[in-house]
Amino acid sequence: MSVATRFGPYGGRFVPETVIGALDELTEAYERHRDDPGFRAELAGLLDRYVGRPTPLYRARRLEAAWGVGCLLFKREDLCHTGAHKINNALGQVLLARRMGKGRIIAETGAGQHGVATATASALLGMECCVYMGRVDMARQRLNVIRMRMLGAEVRPVDSGSATLKDATSEAIRDWVTNVGTTHYVIGSAVGPAPYPEIVAELQSVIGDEARAQSLADLGRLPGTVVACVGGGSNAIGTFRAFLPDAEVDLIGVEAGGEGLTGRHGASLALGRPGVLHGSYSYLLQDPAGQVAEAHSVSAGLDYPGVGPEHSHLRDTGRVRYMNVTDAEALDAFSRCSREEGIIPALETAHALALIAREGGALSARGPVLVCLSGRGDKDVDQAAAALGIDA
């Protein structure tokens, strides 16, 4: 089956001509390998024994009580090797790159989780790895910078623009344009030119496939509501896809509300207009002249003015509801989850939790609420401690 390139009107390949050949090559390779039993077995074996899949579906009973939710389920992607769902995609893409004969891997990273996952997969599979990261993000996610370097990756600081994820992505694309013959670009979210959004969504759909089966096995029913945070939207699309045909399941994506929607934020789907950034047509925060706006979020992983094209389509069709929570709400949920459940979530993930803290009682009327616990928060402890006034 050919790889999807459009989601409704969204998606496409809006990139310099130089990389079109490489996108064709990637499309062809992915179509050939994704159904190849050898590739599937190699990836499945690594997901099983290296990543630690399947990840558990855990019932968070103390937060149920705190937030007035009848049944709250965490899909524990934080328990994946390297601490977030990003490894599902990174391993698949680096395996594919090796089969394509590329020896060099590049990636962009915001929170550093995708950079760490790509550096990990590159170390495991013997590939050279270079990760672009905004200077601002390097400061707020210092731990992950050290991890990437320990794993043998080169971390290249990006100073242009807002020195965050948007600028790191631009710089990674420029590297790819320059070194396209030898290099595979591992995009970390369900964004970018086709075929990336589809490849990332398929590699991440293991989350929702497992969660759906686990819900049926554990509860004998589907959840009433499924919640995930959305920056570019890879954990969300990976979680939602399995539930898209289940019309009775309410799907909610949670964007970064930042300081609130009248201030600085990262809520592309709430307040953006469709436009082109990083190779695809999708909702985008921009000024009236089309200059891309700087996003803001306390979470580096959600600090992005664009969003994956499939989310834009799901927003327009209404199949997924997109809501947002503020930095302050996310920090509060971060704190509550840590204290009530003994799980320190990533600040990105804390956005999904904050939505449940706020709306959980109402959501609960539909039945169990399942949230993708997309990553753990070790990387965020310095920043969160400062925000929450916790001393060492």
Partner 1 sequence: MPDGAARLERAFTAAGRPVFMPYVMGGYPDLAASVRHARILGRHAAVIELGVPFSDPLADGPTIQAAGQRALAAGTTPDDVLGVAAELRDGPPIAVMTYYNTVLARGADAFLARAADAGVAGLIIPDLPVDEAGPVRAIAHQRGVALVALAAPTTGEERLEEIGRHAEGFVYCVAVTGVTGGEVAVDDRLTGFLARARARIRVPLAVGFGVRTPEQAVAIGRHADGVVIASELIRRIDEAPDPAAADAEVAAFGAAVDRALTASA
- Judged by the rule CB under 8 A, the positions of this chain that interact with partner 1 are 12-22, 24, 160-161, 166-167, 170, 173-174, 177-181, 273-279, 281, 284, 286, 288-292
Q: How far is the CB of 108 from partner 1 (least distance, A)?
A: 13
At 75, the amino acid letter reads: K
Specify whether the backbone of 134 is left (phi greater than 0), alpha (psi in -120 to 50) or beta. Answer: beta
Minimum Å distance from CB 178 to partner 1?
A: 4
Contact 190, 232 (CB under 8 A): yes
Q: What angle (nearest 5°) sits at the alpha carbon of residue 326, between those of residues 380 and 312?
A: 100
- Least distance (Å) between residue 361 CB and partner 1: 41
Question: Which residue, 212 or 278, is less far from partner 1 as judged by CB?
Answer: 278
Distance between first and last Cα of the chain? 54
Tell me, yes or no, if 28 is annotated catalytic. no
Nearer to partner 1, 128 or 294 (CB): 294
- Number of Cβ within a 10 Å radius of residue 3: 17
Please pick, among 75, 86, 102, 379, the residue that the annotation labels catalytic.
86
Helix (H), strand (E) at residue 178? helix 165-178
Give least dist CB 245 to partner 1, A: 30
Catalytic-residue membership of 374:
yes
Q: How far is the CB of 237 from partner 1 (least distance, A)?
A: 23
Q: Could you say which DSSP state residue 112 is in?
A: S
Pairwise CA distance, residues 383 & 310, whole Å:
31
158-191 core/surface letters (b: 16 or more CB in 10 A; e: else) = beeebbbbbbbbbbbbebbbeebeebbbbbbbbb
Pick from 112, 137, 136, 167: nearest CA to 292: 167
* Active-site residue, from 189, 282, 299, 374: 374
Closest to partner 1 by CB, 11 vs 375, is 11
CB of 22 to partner 1, least distance (A): 7
On whether the CB atoms of residues 302 and 229 are closer than 8 A, the answer is yes
Secondary structure of residue 221 in the 3-state scheme: coil
Q: How far is the CB of 334 from partner 1 (least distance, A)?
A: 31
Closer by beta carbon to partner 1, 286 or else 297: 286
CA distance linking residue 13 with residue 163, whole number of Å? 25
* Shorter beta-carbon distance to partner 1: residue 80 or 284: 284
Q: Which is nearer to partner 1, 100 or 143 (CB)?
A: 100
Complex with partner 1: residue 143 or 177, whichever CB lies closer:
177
User: Which secondary structure element, helix H or strand E, spans residue 190, and what is its range?
Assistant: none
Please indicate whether residue 86 is annotated as part of the active site: yes
- Nearer residue to partner 1 within complex by CB, 173 or 269: 173
Among 108, 255, 329, 359, the active-site one is: 108
Pairing of strands 225-229, 369-373: parallel
Provide the minimum distance between the beta carbon of 163 and partner 1 in the complex, in angstroms, as a whole number. Answer: 12
Residues 221 and 71: beta-carbon distance below 8 Å: no
In Å, how far are 12, 31, 33, 97, 241 from 2, measured between CA atoms?
14, 6, 12, 19, 18
The H-assigned helical ranges of 47-85 are 61-67
Q: Which residues are catalytic?
A: 86, 108, 374
